[in-house]
Amino acid sequence: MTLLLGLAGLAIDLGRMYVIRAELQSFTDAAALTAALELNGAASGLAKARTGATRLASGPHAMRWDLGTQTIANIATSFSADQVNWQDQPKDPGACPYVRVIASEPAPVIFLRLFQSKDSSTVAAASVAAKIGPSARLVQ
C-alpha cells in the first residue's frame, strides 16, 4: 500500500510538471512567432522582438502557467544567424533571422520533496522561429 501511494504521489507531481511544461511550450511558440514578426534587420527590430515576446505574458489576456493562475516571468529572448550561436545582443541585427524564446518557471512539488531538498523543480520550454520574408514560421 505504501508503494502504491508513493507511486500515485509521484504521478501527481510528474503530471503537474507535464501540464506546466505544455503551458510554457504554448507560450514560447506564440512568443517566438510574435518576436520573429518584429524582426526588421535593425537594432530597433531586436528591441521590438523582445517586447513582442514579453507582451504575451502581460495584460488582461496574458498567457499564464499553472492552469492559468501564475504569470510567466522568466523569459529569455536571443537571436542567431545560424541556430547555433545564440546572442542576446547581436552586432549585426540584419544577419539574424532566427529568434529563440525560453521560458522557465519553478513548478511546485508535493511528493517529490522526499527525493530533493527544494519545494520546486524548474520546468522550461523553448521555441525557435525564423523570419522569412514578410512572414514567420516555427523552426523548432
Tell me the per-residue pLDDT of 22-34, one tens digit each, with 9 for 90 and over. Answer: 999 999 999 999 9
Domain count, the chain: 1
pLDDT confidence of residue 82: 92
Torsion 25-26-31-37 (CA) sign = positive
pLDDT confidence of residue 136: 93
CB-count burial class (<10 Å; 0-12, 13-18, 19+) for 54: middle
The parent domain of residue 83 ranges over: 2-138
pLDDT confidence of residue 6: 73
Q: What percent of the chain has pLDDT over 90?
A: 58
- Quick one: which H or E segment has residue 109? none
pLDDT confidence of residue 3: 80
pTM above 0.75, yes or no: yes
The residue ranges of the chain whose pLDDT is under 70 are: 116-117
